[in-house]
Structure 1
Amino acid sequence: MNVISTHLLLLFMLQALIFTSDVVAEQKPALHWGYVHFPPYFVETAPGLAEGELAALLQRVMQDLQLEMRAQQYPNRRMINLLNEGGLDLAMVISSVLTQQHLYLRSAQPVAMMELAVYWQPGTQPVRQLSDLNNSRLIVMSGYTYGGLREKLEPGNGFIRQLVQIEQHRLGIEALQLDRGEYFLSYRHAMPPESEHQLNYHILDSIEMFLWLRQALPNSGLLMQQIDALLERYNNEAQAAPMP
């Protein structure tokens, strides 16, 4: 074989290798991330696109790991059911939402701290502890577990007189204003800032939110280790950053 033929053969083999690598990269499936409408953490801007504080965090993780992600917003109950069926690759939820935790790996540190608060209109009897809601008409988010409190709040358990379920936090404020309920149980960070000037509120508890990765994914253990390392790095960078 002459020199020219050898060079052509090597060039062909190199092109074939590059093409094969590209095909493998293209065939690598995007991770399916499911979320609910939960501003300012998650907000759908277009089908398959999400913005918000935690959406940006997850997008940064995926970018640093050079992984593709497919974002999809779901109604509250559908999201929880799909998660517990093992139908999502990624999720950011509090632990009580996930009843089938053996299907997922949990991040070593929380990605957010949720303040559980109760809201009411001026003139309504104040609430300082959960027992103050006894025999009240309570507005709650559909599908939310509230850190394990949800079952206790069912009217059949004799604690809450009437339960009104809504899908979005702004609808909870409207329900209060329309007197559909006396109190609204919500997460403070998800409430519009102006609500704290319009309504009275009291923080009942703080609940951690974690990132969850489906355990059945290839190399899920290694992937979660990489995610944990990135989350720790981001946290250290944030703490070291000068105060504005």
Structure 2
Amino acid sequence: MNTFHRLIRLLLSGALAWVSSLSFADVTIHDPHAEDNEVIVGYIEFPPVFFTNDEGKPEGYLIDLARMLMEKKHYPWRAVSRPTRRMAIELADGKIDLWIGLATLPEFTGTTLVGDSIVSRIELNAYWQGDKKTISRIEDLTGESVVLLHGFSYGGAISFLRDPVNRIRDCSAFNHAQAISMLKVKRCDYLLNYDGPMRLELKKQPVQDLHRKRLSSLDARFVVSKKRDHAAKLLKDLEDALHELVAEGKWFLPPP
């Protein structure tokens, strides 16, 4: 073989090696276990805790928490909306892996692992400034002016709050920051809101002489289906990620 042909062979083999290396660099290697590792998170329609928005996507402050937890521990995940009883049955059967909420549903007995941490206290509070009348129950708002967050059902109390018979004047707010601003400038005398998002917003926007009265309360915990592969590991990862978020100031645990 003459020098010219040897040179051509060297150039061709080098080019092939270069192309081959590019091909391997650009290939996305599919992890056959990635789909198996997906966490199915169940939720119910209970704004602002969790709900399906107008675009058909899950939303709410416990959906936001789920997103932060999964990103921290690198779990692929998706959220599915179900009526409460169906969600509980599917969690027990293993069709749903995780629920963040009330852990005492009868379907969960013997079928789930429950986290130690109270992730959130789903606590509906009345807020007001100064020496206004104390609100101890929804009915005490009759004849008053109240900041209400747009789209919130308030656990079904919205029908009472909007009933003209009860003479409640409402100021509609589209987010928590706007709701607090309305209370501060006295657009309305009272504000109905949930403890979790309210605490986060008050850290950014403190209110002087603010009073609070709990109207209702439920403790939310991590509930993991025992049918989930490595269920105990998933629960531990969630608890660890939760406390990391708390340490970073991205989440607040309710007082004991």
- Specify if TM > 0.5: yes
1:1-244 → structure 2 map (5 Å cutoff) = 22-45=30-53, 49-115=57-123, 118-120=137-139, 122=141, 168-169=153-154, 171-175=156-160, 177-178=162-163, 197=190, 203=214, 206-238=217-249
Number of residue pairs aligned between Structure 1 and Structure 2: 180
Percent identity between the two aligned chains: 19
Q: TM-score, normalised by structure 1?
A: 0.55
Q: Which moved more, 1:114-123 or 1:230-239?
A: 114-123
CA contact 2:52–2:59 (8 Å) conserved in 1: yes
Per-residue CA distance 1:204-230 (angstroms, 9 max, x = gap):
664321011112222221222222111
Change (3 A) 1:25 1:237: same
Q: Is the 8 A contact 1:90 1:214 kept in 2?
A: yes
Contact 2:124 2:216 in 1 (8 A): yes
Structure 1 residues 108 and 48: CA distance shift in structure 2, 3 A: farther
Say whether the 8 Å CA contact 1:45–1:51 is kept in structure 2.
Answer: yes
Q: 1:48 to 1:109 in 2, by over 3 A?
A: farther
Cα 1:110–1:24 change in 2 (3 A) is same
**1:120-167 deviations in whole A, cap 9, x for unaligned?**
15569xxxxxxxxxxxxxxxxxxxxxxxxxxxxxxxxxxxxxxxxxx9
Unaligned runs of 5+ in 1: 125-166, 182-191
CA distance in 2, matches of 1:58, 1:229: 13
Check 1:205–1:82 CA distance in 2 against 1; reply closer, same or farther (3 A cut). Answer: same
Q: Determine the C-alpha separation between the residues in 2 that align with 1:69 and 1:231.
A: 16
Compared with structure 1, are the counterparts of its residues 47 and 79 closer, same or farther at alpha carbon in structure 2 (3 Å cutoff)?
farther
CA gap of 1:36–1:47, structure 2 versus 1, over 3 A, is farther
Amino acid at match of 1:33: V
Assess if the C-alpha contact under 8 Å between 1:48 and 1:71 holds in 2: no
**1:48/1:32 CA distance change after superposition, 3 Å:** farther
Q: Against the structure 1 CA distance between its residues 35 and 105, is the aligned structure 2 distance closer, same or farther, given a 3 Å change threshold?
A: same
Maintained 8 Å contact 2:34/2:76:
no
Deviation for aligned residue 1:55: 0.9
Matches of 1:234 and 1:198, distance apart in 2 = 28
8 Å contact 1:82–1:88 — kept in the other structure? yes
> Per-residue deviation at 1:98?
4.9
When Rg is computed on C-alpha atoms for both structures, the one with the higher figure is 2
TM-score, normalised to structure 2's length?
A: 0.53
Please report the RMSD computed on the Cα atoms of aligned residues, expressed in angstroms.
Answer: 4.4
Q: Secondary structure at the match of 1:57?
A: helix
Instruction: Quote the offset at 1:35 in angstroms.
Output: 0.5
Any stretches of 5+ residues in structure 2 without a counterpart? 1-12, 126-136, 144-151, 167-178, 193-211
- For 1:178 and 1:105, locate their aligned partners in 2 and report how far apart those are by CA, in whole Å: 42
- The equivalent of 1:127 in structure 2 is none
Cα drift, residue 86 of structure 1: 4.2
